[in-house]
Amino acid sequence: MNSSNNNTFRFKQILNITFIVLAVLFFVLLIVFRGSMNSFVSKKMKEQAGIGIKKSIAQIVDSAFNYQKNGEGFATTFLEFGAKGCISCRKMEVVMKEVKENYPQKVNVKFLNILLPENQDMMKYFGIAAIPTQVLLNASGKEVFRHTGYFSFDDLNKEFQKISF
């Protein structure tokens, strides 16, 4: 009977160790494939947005951010999708302020709080799967760059230079 208890104890130890190893492996895979998973979820969100949402938001984006049509003088739109309670989003507030100060006439900076109902369709249209997410639109309102997570002003500035500054 002692041998049976000993075998049960060993089995439980092996099972616990196996569970811990699998959990760690799962989290490592999540980190390694974070970008791919984000892209996949983003694509699925865009697909799930109904045709009505796609058309209405496309019209809003075109009228607000197509500077070739609407005559506003901006070269780029910087859309920041986030939430007020998010730590990384708060760090991005500093970056948005720097962009506004350095490019007041060239970059239109817009913060979209994804928790507000009025921004939900925009979030679906752009397929925002995680926050903070930065989306850059060119002067004709077309997406030319996307990044998820904190993105420094210096890195963002490099992307602005690539667009058309």
50-163 — its CATH code? 3.40.30.10
Q: Long-range contacts for 157-164 (Cβ within 8 Å, ≥24 apart)? A: 157/102, 160/76, 160/103, 160/106, 160/107, 160/136, 163/75, 163/76, 163/136, 163/138, 164/75, 164/76, 164/138, 164/139
Query: In this structure, what token pair is assigned to residue 145?
Result: 């760059």
Cβ atoms within 10 A of the Cβ of 76, count? 23
> Between these two residues, 73 and 38, which has the higher pLDDT value?
73
pLDDT tens, position by position, 31-53: 776 667 677 767 777 777 788 88
pLDDT tens, position by position, 120-160: 999 999 999 899 999 999 999 999 999 999 999 999 999 99
Domains of the chain, residue spans: 50-163
Which run of H or E residues covers position 87? Answer: helix 87-102
CB under 8 Å to 106, separation ≥6 — which residues? 73, 74, 75, 76, 160, 165
Mean pLDDT confidence for 86-90: 93
pLDDT tens, position by position, 12-35: 888 889 989 888 888 787 677 666
